[in-house]
Homo-oligomer: A and B are copies of this chain.
Amino acid sequence: MQLQTKPEFDFESYLLARRKLVEDRLALYLVEQEPARLWQSMRYSVLSGGKRLRAMLTLAAAEAIAANKNIDGQQKLDPIEIALPCACAIEMVHAMSLVHDDLPCLDNDDLRRGKPTNHKVYGEALALLAGDGLLMLANEILIEHSKDVAATDLLAVVRELCRATGPSGMVGGQVKDMEFTGSDDTKFDIATVESIHSGKTGALIRFSLWSGGKLMGANETQLASLYRLGEILGLAFQITDDLLDVTGDAKTLGKTPGKDEATKKATWVRAIGIDGARQKLSEMESEGITLIEKSALDISGAPVLKALLKYAIHRQK
């Protein structure tokens, strides 16, 4: 007699399905309008693929809170429909940050994910304005399309998105990164690296998880857990990035490794070495998994957040 086993959670299929959901919705929000070149330029960068990790985190957080709510017998809400506009807004802000980062006055990159960067295709002026446009469009879409969310909660989410993206968040981190890039090894320590990345990549990743919960009306304890998980994930994501720049191979990465070292970026590897970075990463993974289990943040039968954490750490690109 064969025992009936619980079906395995197929993370690959999950990722594919979720990504398609996000891509389709983004394409809908970015239907070409006048002026055509501006919308084409925005579409070019937003719809150019990518891991969509941030969107995945928002949807997973919303689902985790929904699963808990439904267990509690509260009103059944569709977490995906509620969180999808926010997930898309986050991807638009992320895409925008890459467009401006790639500009000649910042990183001066010609290629992004194996394709010419936005300004290489549309020119610098349009790339600049497409970035500006995406920043405001992201907020507009978040407000316009978030249904079944209390107005005060939605206001809090918009405010946090602006905070995560603005001078105290992503933009502030980019400036710090710029200031430290090119400096000698001795001029920065762990606190500096942590402060740069807490803004540059961390703020939006923290917001991704927190917002998924907030939109679903998560309680303060749940929000605090999501926020801490966001910190862990943001750190883990960045340390992995820094490690891949040293240990990854060009073919898998889709870009040339070694750029951090060449431009003297303030990275985790330069601050604490390869072994130190791997050690830190392993600690983050353990803490994250414990937190997810303790906070009942996994959707029953589908360890999505755990899988996303492992994915952020063990990816090869």
Residues of A within 8 A of B (CB): 33-35, 37-39, 42, 100, 103, 105-106, 123-126, 128-129, 131-133, 135-137, 139-140, 143-144, 150-152, 154-155, 158-159, 162-163, 165-168, 171-172, 174-176, 178-179
Contact = CB atoms under 8 A, between A and B. Distances in A.
Given A38-B172, A106-B125, A172-B35, A135 B132 contact: yes
A115 B151 CA distance: 43
The winner among A143, A166, A178 for most chain B CB atoms within 10 A is: A166
A242 B168 CA distance: 38
B136 A174 contact: no
B105 A175 contact: no
A194 to B, nearest CB: 14
A129 B159 contact: no
Given A131-B132, A151-B151, 5 more contacts: A38-B172, A105-B123, A106-B125, A137-B162, A158-B158
A123 B179 CA distance: 12
A91 B174 CA distance: 24
Nearest to A123: B105
A168 to B, nearest CB: 7
Contacts of A159: 139-140, 143-144
B175 A35 contact: yes
Given A105-B124, A128-B103, A133 B166 contact: yes
The winner among A165, A166, A167 for most chain B CB atoms within 10 A is: A167
A175 B129 contact: yes
Contacts of A38: 167, 171-172, 175
A168 B33 CA distance: 8
- Across chains A and B, which 7 residue pairs bring their CB atoms closest together, nearest first? A136-B166, A151-B151, A105-B124, A133-B167, A140-B162, A133-B171, A143-B159
Given A144-B159, A158-B143, A167-B137, A176 B35 contact: yes
B166 A140 contact: yes
Given A167-B39, A171-B38, A135 B133 contact: no
A89 to B, nearest CB: 11
Contacts of A135: 132, 135-136, 166
